[in-house]
Amino acid sequence: MIRRIRLVAWHVFKESVRDRVLYAIGAFALLLVGASIAIGQLSAGEDVKIIKDLGLSTIELAGVLMTIFIGVGLVAREIDRRSIFGLLSKPLPRWEFVLGKYAGLILTIVVNVAAMTAALYLMLAYLDWQALPVERRAWDAPAADPRLLVSVLLITAELALLTALSLFFSTFSSSALLSIVFTVGIFVTGLFSAELRGFGDIVEVSPTVAKFVGGIGWLVPAFSAFSDVKAQVVHGRAVPAAFVFYTLAYAAIYIAALLAGAVTIFSRREFK
C-alpha cells in the first residue's frame, strides 16, 4: 500500500518539476527575494526587517500560486488526458491514488519552499557579513535568525492545507478553472477568518448576524492563523511552543477532513 502511494507521489513530483508554471513562479519568487535587497536599501535603517518581511511573504505567495495552479490540475489533467482510465484499471484503490497525488504535491511544495528559504538565508547571511558591528547592534534580531524557520514551518503547514483544499475541489470538478475559482474563493475567505470570527466586535450588527458570520469564520479553513507570527519572528521574539503545536494540529486535522472528503467524492465518481 505504502509502496503504491509512494509511486504515485513520485510520479506527481516528477511531473510537477517539469511543469513550466513551476519554473515561472519559482523564478518570480527568487527575483522578488533578490529584489528585496534593493527595496531594503530604500528603507532607512530597516533593511534587515524589510528583507525578512518580503522574503517570508514571497515564500508564502509563491507557494500559494504553485499550490493552486498545480494542485487543481492534479486530477483534472488525468481526466482531460484520459490517462485516468489506465490508472484506475490497475490494482490501485482510488483512495491510494488521491493520497499519492497529495503526497506528491506536498513533496514538490516542500522542495520549493526549502529552495526559497535557502535563498533568503543566503541573502541575509550576505547582509550580515557586509554589515558594520554598529549596524548589527541596531538590529532587533540577528540577520540569519533561525527563528524565521518557525514562520517557514507554519507557511508550509498553510500550503499543505491549501493543497488539500485544491485537491478536494479537483476531485469533483472536471474544470480546472472552476477548481481555481473555488480554491481561491475559500482561500481569500480563510484569510479573513479572524475578522469573520470577531465580526460582532468590528461592525455593529445584530447578535444573530454576528453569530452566523462568526460561525462561518470558525468553519472555513483559517489561513490567517498561519501568518499571525510573521511579525514576531522578524523582530526575533519567541513564539510559544503551544501556539505552534495548536496551529500544526489544526492544519493536520483539517487536512485529514479534506482528504476524507476528497476520497469519498473521488471513490463514487464515474468516468465516461
- In the bound state with another protein, the residue whose beta carbon lies nearer, of 118 and 256, is 256
Residue 6 binding another protein, by CB under 8 A: no
Residue 218 binding another protein, by CB under 8 A: yes
d(CA 47, CA 154): 24
List, in order, residues 6 or more apart from 148 with CB less than 8 Å away: 52, 56, 117, 120, 121, 233, 234
- Of these, 27, 201, 209, 211, which contacts another protein (CB under 8 A)? 201
CA atoms within 13 Å, Cβ hemisphere of 101 = 30
- In the bound state with another protein, the residue whose beta carbon lies nearer, of 35 and 231, is 231
- In the bound state with another protein, the residue whose beta carbon lies nearer, of 218 and 271, is 218
CA neighbor of 62 nearest in space, from 101, 110, 108, 113? 113
Residue 231 binding another protein, by CB under 8 A: yes
Residue 110 binding another protein, by CB under 8 A: no
In sign, the C-alpha dihedral spanning 23, 29, 33, 39 is: positive
CA 54 to chain CA mean position, Å: 16
- In the bound state with another protein, the residue whose beta carbon lies nearer, of 17 and 248, is 248
**Which residue's entry shows cell 507557494?**
63
d(CA 232, CA 247): 15
Give the interface segment with another protein, choosing from 30-38, 76-84, 151-159, 263-271 (CB under 8 A): 263-271
CA 123 to chain CA mean position, Å: 22
d(CA 205, CA 199): 8
- Of these, 11, 147, 235, 269, which contacts another protein (CB under 8 A)? 235
Residue 263 binding another protein, by CB under 8 A: yes
d(CA 240, CA 243): 5
At residue 208, what is the residue type?
T
- Of these, 21, 111, 114, 249, which contacts another protein (CB under 8 A)? 249
At residue 187, what is the residue type?
F
Q: Rounded to the nearest whole angstrom, what is the least distance from the CB of residue 260 to another protein in the complex?
A: 4
Residue 225 binding another protein, by CB under 8 A: yes
Residue 141 binding another protein, by CB under 8 A: no
Q: What share of the chain is helix, strand, coil (3-state, %, to 5)?
A: 80, 0, 20
Q: Rounded to the nearest whole angstrom, what is the least distance from the CB of residue 197 to another protein in the complex?
A: 8
CA-based max dimension of the chain: 69
- Of these, 56, 113, 191, 258, which contacts another protein (CB under 8 A)? 258
Residue 174 binding another protein, by CB under 8 A: no
Q: Rounded to the nearest whole angstrom, what is the least distance from the CB of residue 165 to another protein in the complex?
A: 12
Contact 74, 167 (CB under 8 A): yes
- Of these, 31, 211, 237, 271, which contacts another protein (CB under 8 A)? 237
For another protein, the binding residues (CB under 8 A) are 195, 198, 201-203, 218-219, 221-222, 225, 228-229, 231-232, 235, 237, 239-240, 242-243, 246-247, 249-250, 253-254, 256-258, 260-261, 263-265, 267-268
